């Protein structure tokens, strides 16, 4: 099958708009937010006014009527400048709003999506737990239906949850064991928990290596009660739901990783043209030229990968394997390019005032979040017909 990855005029216009926003609005300010570990509320509000949080959702729910390709384009352009802002958008859309759009009732969609699409509130997805990371089937958080009050009573802990404790966080969708199958395996369901619900605790922000201008926290639930109507989709389908959400999210993370990889090229190229050593720009040295050529090659192929997966998703074709390949490759590329960009910058690459220092710190999590590189290899191997 021949795939044309050239952007349609509307997608190219979107790309240029976000590119300008990233360079004119985000780039001058984000370093201070990053070093102070502060959430950039005004930047996020502006992104909401631009409609970025509503890109892939229908207009009837307050969205822009776009698609997943449009979301990926935006994430790539944002991450070329800063990953904290990009992951806030990615998590808000792919993990916060998308589960409600994919699996919610009409009432749930009407209640939550318009405010999420406008950026008025952020949503989060509570999946990972201290005792089970990649093994999401080992969920220990429980939800018991109190027949007397018709409420779910939730108990448990979630960790590493993005967008879960900001001043504008509106809800967290949590996975919880709601019963047992005949063979004893857990029935895992998804339940919407609005922020501020009694029994829903939000810890202080983590001290992180990177993504320091984004919000990541541990959550606790102690006899937290929400209406039975807050069940998202069918009871017992939470595990299948999150698998679908993560498949789509891997495309988004791949686009973000590609942006970081390209941002490393951008910064290193500019530095190589102006930084002089031994009487000439360091970009005149073949060693630097080869590094930049390899970095550009990796970023280009990562872009081909995520756009291929996104195109398949948009056209209703199977995309699970392509998403895993794109996520695995682009995250590896992001780490490689960040390392080389730091090397090109020399001592300055180790100074936080230079964007490549942020990129180096931000890159590693891309090989871990939304499915580790090892998990991606497992998924690809299964698609090849191998089992273990």
Q: Indicate which residues carry an active-site annotation.
A: 370
Q: How many other C-beta atoms are found inside a 10 Å radius of the C-beta of residue 298? A: 23
Q: How many other C-beta atoms are found inside a 10 Å radius of the C-beta of residue 36? A: 10
Q: How do beta strands 169-180 and 122-126 pair?
A: parallel
Q: How do beta strands 200-202 and 276-277 pair?
A: unpaired
| 378 CB-near residues (< 8 Å, 6+ apart) | 388
Reading the block at residue 142, the tokens are 């429980």
Beta bridge partners of 143: 154
Separation of alpha carbons 229 and 271, rounded Å? 56
DSSP 123-137: EEEE--BTTBSS-GG
Separation of alpha carbons 30 and 212, rounded Å? 10
Specify whether the backbone of 208 is left (phi greater than 0), alpha (psi in -120 to 50) or beta: beta
233, 190 in Cβ contact below 8 A?
yes
Separation of alpha carbons 232 and 125, rounded Å? 12
Separation of alpha carbons 226 and 203, rounded Å? 20
| 370 CB-near residues (< 8 Å, 6+ apart) | 246, 249, 250, 253, 327
| 154 CB-near residues (< 8 Å, 6+ apart) | 141, 142, 143, 174, 176, 191, 193, 199, 221, 223, 224, 225, 226
């Amino acid at each position: 099958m021949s795939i044309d990855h050239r952007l349609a005029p509307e997608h190219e216009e979107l790309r240029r708009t976000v590119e300008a926003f990233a360079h004119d609005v985000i780039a001058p300010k984000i370093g201070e937010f990053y070093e102070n570990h502060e959430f950039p509320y005004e930047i996020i509000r502006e992104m909401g006014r631009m409609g970025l949080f509503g890109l892939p959702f229908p207009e009837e729910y307050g969205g822009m009527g776009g698609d997943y390709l449009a979301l990926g384009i935006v994430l790539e352009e944002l991450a070329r400048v800063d990953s904290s802002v990009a992951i806030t958008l990615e998590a808000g859309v792919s993990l916060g709003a998308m589960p409600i759009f994919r699996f919610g009732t009409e009432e749930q969609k009407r209640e939550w999506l318009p405010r999420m699409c406008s950026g008025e509130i952020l949503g989060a997805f509570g999946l990972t737990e201290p005792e089970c990371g990649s093994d999401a089937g080992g969920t220990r958080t429980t939800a018991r239906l109190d027949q007397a009050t018709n409420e779910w009573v939730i108990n448990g802990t979630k960790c590493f949850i993005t967008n879960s404790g900001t001043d504008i966080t509106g809800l967290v969708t949590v996975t919880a064991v709601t019963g047992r199958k005949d063979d004893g395996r857990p029935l895992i369901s998804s339940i919407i928990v609005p922020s501020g619900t009694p029994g829903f605790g939000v810890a202080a922000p983590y001290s992180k290596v990177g993504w320091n201008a984004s919000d990541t926290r541990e959550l606790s639930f102690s006899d937290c009660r929400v209406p039975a109507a807050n069940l998202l989709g069918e009871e017992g389908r939470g595990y299948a739901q999150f698998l679908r959400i993560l498949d789509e999210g891997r495309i988004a993370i791949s686009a973000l990783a590609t942006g970081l990889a390209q941002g490393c090229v951008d910064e290193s190229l500019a530095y190589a043209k102006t930084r002089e050593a031994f009487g000439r720009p360091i970009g005149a040295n073949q060693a630097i030229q080869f590094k930049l050529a390899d970095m550009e090659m990796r970023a280009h192929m990562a872009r081909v990968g995520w756009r291929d997966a996104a195109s398949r998703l948009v056209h209703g074709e199977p995309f699970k394997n392509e998403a895993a390949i794109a996520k695995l490759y682009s995250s590896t590329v992001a780490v490689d390019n960040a390392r080389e960009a730091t090397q090109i910058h020399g001592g300055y690459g180790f100074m936080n005032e230079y964007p490549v220092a942020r990129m180096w710190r931000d890159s590693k999590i891309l090989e871990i979040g939304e499915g580790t590189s090892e998990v991606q290899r497992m998924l690809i191997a299964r698609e090849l017909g191998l089992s273990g």
